[in-house]
């Protein structure tokens, strides 16, 4: 999961055009019920297993059958499996899959599926270097397309209703203007080329695609539709970022200085926090957050927009990341937030996956000081997710 910032002016304009419906429930986005896409109804991310920064000595044992059973028994339907490019892509040529690590990834897929869960395997880079290379180097793009064709060919025999391919996590090079001459428009045509490459090897599997600007919902609404079957459109939801990423020390700006911000927020319930903030930037951010008065209705409007778009375009949509950095966020506020997000994802029939299982956004914690046994669920969070 990377930094995610929605464009405030665009959000405001889109909210004003949202058409809320009362007295009736919208038709589900993912459906009809009983299709493979329905397996993506309730998911959880297993971060820090095969990420670029993960410990290779844990590739074979970080999670096992007891963890997957726990996830299945809680009511989840699938696991999203983030994989760093450095784990599977070749070190000399991107297309040359690292076979030793592929064995570990495939064992993970088999064990997850053995527990009765579907699995989405996705490329999840840490940092921007790999993506920047793709943005500027035609040969790297060609090699990455071949990598995905090779990977799809390896997994093509797996059940198409239980294995999903997700191309890339949170493309952002263009939105951040990190490479001269590259804007957000670089991503969509390249993504469609990757889809074509995967289709050459695995014509019947579902492929999950996303938009630039960290997979934001606002950019999703601008994304050109790929004229192929079995494409699932995905967005990530961390609004309001000030709340969900308080205490995050890997993000520039005042986020690492933010503490104990409540959700929902009002000018009154953040006034003391703002008054006590010694850093001017943090103080300003807290005051701004309070003025937004972000609450359930704000989330409802976003999900309505995504739903309207999906119906207009006749496509399937999921949200496979949302969550709260839990280090300093008030536990009650975390529960309030997760409850509101899942309420409106469910209202509009949008499948989802929470970020994450047991890491810094984790909804389960190890209480014995060891990872030898599965972590313990936060039952308040499970109730908020409406699966227990």
Three-state SS at 162:
coil
Q: Residue 3 falls within a domain, yes or no?
A: no
pLDDT, tens digit, 9 for 90 and up, residues 70-97: 999 999 999 999 999 999 999 999 999 9
| Same-domain check for residues 326 and 366 | yes
CATH no. for residue 53? 3.20.20.80
**Tokens linked to 122:** 């996705």
Percent of the chain with pLDDT over 90: 88
94 and 181 belong to one structural domain? yes
Q: Does the residue 133 lie in any domain?
A: yes
Average pLDDT rounded to a whole number, residues 189-213: 98
pLDDT tens-digit series, residues 261-305:
999 999 999 999 999 999 999 999 999 999 999 999 999 999 999
Q: How many domains does the chain have?
A: 2
Kindly report which listed range (20-34, 54-68, 166-180) carries the lowest average pLDDT score.
20-34
Q: How many helices (H) and strands (E) does the chain have?
A: 16, 10
Q: Is the pLDDT of residue 4 over 50?
A: no
Question: Which 8-state DSSP code applies to residue 11?
Answer: H
Q: Is residue 365 part of a domain?
A: yes
In a domain, 361, yes or no: yes
Quick one: 257 and 308 in the same domain?
no
Average pLDDT on 164-189 reads 96
Q: Is residue 216 part of a domain?
A: yes
The answer on 354 and 322 residing in a single domain is: yes
Asked if the structure places residue 48 within a domain, the reply is yes
Q: Are 288 and 344 within one domain?
A: no
Rounded to the nearest integer, the mean pLDDT of the chain is 92
Integer Cα distance of 67 and 113 in angstroms = 12
**Position with higher pLDDT, 10 vs 121:** 121
Tell me, what's the pLDDT at 22? 37
pLDDT tens profile 353-363: 999 999 999 99
Q: Which of 262, 293, 324 is the last residue of a domain?
A: 293
Residue appearing with tokens 């009650």: 332
Looking at the fold, whether 91 and 127 belong to one and the same domain comes out as yes
Q: Is residue 5 part of a domain?
A: no
**Cis ω before 218 (30° cut-off from 0):** no
> Would residue 215 count as lying in a domain?
yes
Looking at the predicted structure, is the pLDDT value of residue 212 above 60?
Answer: yes
Pair (57, 148) in one structural domain = yes
Predicted confidence at residue 388, as pLDDT, reads 66
Whole-structure pTM value = 0.92
Residue whose C-alpha is closest to residue 154's, from 228, 101, 91: 101
Residues 6 or more apart whose CB falls under 8 angstroms from that of 55 comprise none
Clarify whether residues 223 and 276 are in a common domain.
no
188/176 same-domain check = yes
Q: Are residues 51 and 119 in the same domain?
A: yes
27: pLDDT strictly greater than 60: no
The sign one gets for the Cα dihedral 94, 100, 102, 104 is negative
Q: Are residues 108 and 216 in the same domain?
A: yes
Provide the CA 255 distance to its chain's centre, in angstroms: 20
Residue 118 belongs to domain spanning: 24-239+297-385
pLDDT of residue 31: 47
Question: Cα–Cα distances in Å, from 25 out to 21, 40, 311?
Answer: 8, 20, 14
Residues 121 and 263 in one domain: no
Q: How far apart are the two ends of the chain, measured CA to CA in Å?
A: 26
């Amino acid at each position: 999961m990377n930094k995610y910032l929605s464009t405030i002016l665009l959000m405001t304009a889109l909210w004003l055009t949202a058409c809320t419906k009362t007295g009736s429930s919208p038709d589900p986005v993912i459906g009809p019920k009983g299709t493979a896409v329905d397996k993506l109804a309730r998911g959880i991310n297993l971060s820090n297993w095969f990420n670029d920064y993960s410990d290779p000595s844990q590739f074979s044992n970080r999670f096992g059958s007891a963890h997957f059973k726990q996830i299945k028994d809680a009511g989840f339907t699938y696991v999203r499996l983030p994989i760093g490019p450095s784990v599977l892509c070749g070190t000399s040529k991107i297309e040359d899959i690292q076979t030793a690590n592929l064995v570990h990834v495939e064992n993970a897929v088999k064990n997850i599926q053995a527990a009765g869960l579907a699995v989405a395997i996705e490329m999840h880079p840490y940092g921007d270097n790999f993506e920047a290379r793709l943005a500027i180097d035609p040969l790297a793009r060609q090699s990455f397309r071949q990598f995905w064709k090779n990977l799809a060919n390896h997994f093509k025999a797996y059940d198409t209703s239980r294995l999903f391919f997700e191309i890339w996590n949170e493309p952002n090079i263009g939105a951040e203007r990190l490479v001269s001459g590259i804007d957000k428009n670089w991503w969509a045509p390249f993504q469609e080329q990757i889809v074509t490459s995967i289709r050459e090897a695995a014509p019947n599997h579902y492929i999950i695609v996303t938009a630039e600007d960290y997979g934001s919902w606002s950019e999703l609404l601008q994304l050109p539709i790929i004229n192929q079957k079995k494409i699932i459109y995905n967005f990530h939801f961390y609004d309001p970022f000030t709340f969900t990423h308080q205490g995050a020390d890997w993000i520039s700006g005042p986020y690492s200085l933010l503490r104990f911000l409540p959700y929902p927020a009002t000018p009154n319930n953040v006034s003391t926090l703002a008054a006590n903030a010694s850093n001017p930037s943090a103080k300003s951010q807290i005051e701004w957050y309070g003025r937004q008065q972000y609450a359930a209705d704000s989330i409802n409007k976003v999900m309505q927009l995504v739903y309207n778009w999906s119906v207009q375009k006749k496509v399937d949509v999921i949200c496979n990341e949302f969550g709260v950095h839990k280090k300093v966020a008030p536990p009650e506020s975390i529960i309030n937030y997760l409850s509101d997000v899942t309420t409106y994802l469910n209202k509009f029939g949008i499948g989802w996956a929470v970020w994450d299982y047991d890491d810094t956004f984790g909804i389960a914690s190890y209480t014995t000081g060891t990872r030898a046994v599965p972590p313990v669920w936060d039952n308040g969070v499970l109730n908020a997710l409406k699966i227990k």
